Amino acid sequence: MSLLARLRKHEALRAVDLALADTLRRLRPETDERVLAGAALASLAVAHGHAAFDPRQPHLLLGESGGDWPAAESWDAAFAASPWVSRPAPALAADPQRPLVLEGGLLYLRRYREYERRLARGLLRLAAAPVPDTGDDAVAALFAVLFPDAGDRATLAASVPDVAAPDGAAAGDRDQARAAALALTRSLLLITGGPGTGKTATIARLLLLLLAQARAQGLAAAPRIALAAPTGRAAERMAESLQQAAAVLRATPGVDPALCEALPTRAQTLHRLLGTIPDSPRFRHDADAPLPHDVVVVDEASMVDLPLMSKLVEAVPDGARLILLGDRDQLPSVEAGDVLSAIVDAADAEPAPGREAEAPTPGGGLHGHRAQLRRSYRQSRTLDLAPLALAVRAGEADTALQLLRGETLSGVHFEEGLLDPLQGPTRERLLAPWRALQDCDDPATALRLARRQRLLTALRGGPQGALALNARIEEALAGSHRPAYFHGRLLLVTENSARHGLFNGDIGVCLRDAEGETLAWFADGAGGVRHFHPAALPAHGGAFAMTVHKAQGSEFDTVWLLLPRRDARPLSRELLYTALTRARDAVHVCAGERVLRAALARRAQRVSGLAARL
């Protein structure tokens, strides 16, 4: 059987992937079959979240049962000889007349190779931009007030953190101080750390120092600061956390209240920041029309895909700062790319030969542009999650199971072997927080109650997927003959709508007013609420149960994590880690040992050439 015929029989391939191969063959019947197969697999790779197809790892797309495929060298030779494949120098744009690009042993769809190249160019542009530290006494005095035990900021900025340092208060404070010190002399800064390690609190103090630095430089106006995140809920959380941190800073002796008043109080989605153009993949702000901001801070950077990050970085003007916050151990973006991990790898790479003894300085790639936060502050006293999260992150199944079964971690509950929490003794425990929504008439209160609990699953379809679980929960709450938008129903927006100001991931709640009309209420991003008639909403679904991917960027008091009956490709240690760390007070893990071990043995691996470019 020919190579392309085998691919046609493989269930992983989509019609659109095969259509690309068929188009190339129709235009050039003599095209090598390996090139046609490579084109289909490059298309499939993007759908699986990869930036390109790696001929050395076809199992990432086709599974271990895919059979014997050509050796990588055979595929490379066919790609190199094909008129459909361009092989440009790394810094140059690919030929727009050729749909495929071969570079670094990877086969790209041209558009995604260009996203990767432009993103690398933009990040290196920002990293190389010099930002002189004024050395002003007022800035130094404020730094000492904000980080009293951290020491000299110049020494901190030049240091390399000890990754083996204990996760204690001193280490946590020093990490945050180093991040702030780096921000004073970097146009590009990456601040990474697990959930609750104080990334937003660090940003509040960091921004205060940047405001003080601008004042010391005699600038007429304060820096224009933009806060953004990939989803509406993540942006809302970011704004709330920053407002809380600002309140603490206002009460701190030695901090000028006027500086605190200049801190931003609102955050927005990246799509809203860049300016969505209806029915267009382009944004209003790009390299030719850059953002009107001096500082751009992006939270939950692990969720940002390759195309969006490329467009964001190009829109950051020369002379501005870009600060990315994220956790590389979380799930990568749903769409193509694992951008945060690639940037972290590049920032952690050893400096070029001859530069080993130098302090990190702008102009040397991304080395010295990352600060890692290690101490966790998030979980409440009722939730002792750190040991389990560490074991899951490392893929240590024996340790994770021992912790889950040992009942020594407060707030962690292992519902071993439970495949349906909507049956038996767990049913009412699960439904109780959502029943409270049906007794609520105030939209702001209802939206706060909506954050109390979520049922998370790895799958969207199937009996243990989010769609079926939502339908069952809604029936349990409102009956089999319920109206489509019953009082207390939670909604999840699933597409961006600039016209409505609603974006993928936004959560709303349906409430019936005094006249009996049901409206869908959402947060407005400024601490208030707004409503829509349900018929006017963009695409949406239920939100009592969500996939772990959809829950990224959110926090809930209680998380129920339901793993499927059998192993499935979406399962990975990153998925488990992301799900567990959405919880503030309690987490219930519903899973069998076999599936749990399979998930912990798998990594969410992505093919990308971005780290090498950087």
**Whether residue 181 has pLDDT greater than 90:** no
Which pLDDT band, with edges at 50, 70 and 90, does 354 fall under? very low
Single out the residue of 75, 126, 129 nearest to residue 323, CA to CA.
Answer: 126
User: Cα-flanking dihedrals φ and ψ of residue 40, to 5°?
Assistant: -60, -40
**CA–CA gap between residue 508 and residue 503 (Å, rounded):** 11
Between 61 and 547, name the one with better pLDDT: 547
**CA–CA gap between residue 121 and residue 116 (Å, rounded):** 9
Average pLDDT over residues 99-127: 94
DSSP 301: G
Single out the residue of 347, 294, 328 nearest to residue 187, CA to CA.
Answer: 294
**Whether residue 134 has pLDDT greater than 80:** no
**Whether residue 162 has pLDDT greater than 60:** no
| Cβ-based burial of 569 (10 A; exposed 0-12, middle 13-18, buried ≥19) | exposed
User: Cα-flanking dihedrals φ and ψ of residue 369, to 5°?
Assistant: -110, 20
| Cβ-based burial of 27 (10 A; exposed 0-12, middle 13-18, buried ≥19) | exposed
Angle between helices 426-435 and 466-478 (to 10 degrees): 70
Between 364 and 539, name the one with better pLDDT: 539
Q: How many CA atoms lie within 13 A of 84 on its CB side?
A: 28
Between 321 and 193, name the one with better pLDDT: 321
For residue 589, the cross-strand partners are 414, 561
pLDDT, one tens digit per residue, over 363-408 is 458 888 998 887 665 555 667 888 898 899 899 999 999 999 987 8
> Do the beta carbons of residue 543 and residue 470 sit within 8 Å?
yes
Tell me, what's the pLDDT at 163? 42
Minimum mean pLDDT range among 160-169, 213-222, 464-473, 588-597: 160-169
pTM, rounded to two decimals: 0.84
- Quote the percentage of the chain above a pLDDT of 70: 90
**Whether residue 455 has pLDDT greater than 90:** yes
Tell me, what's the pLDDT at 274? 92
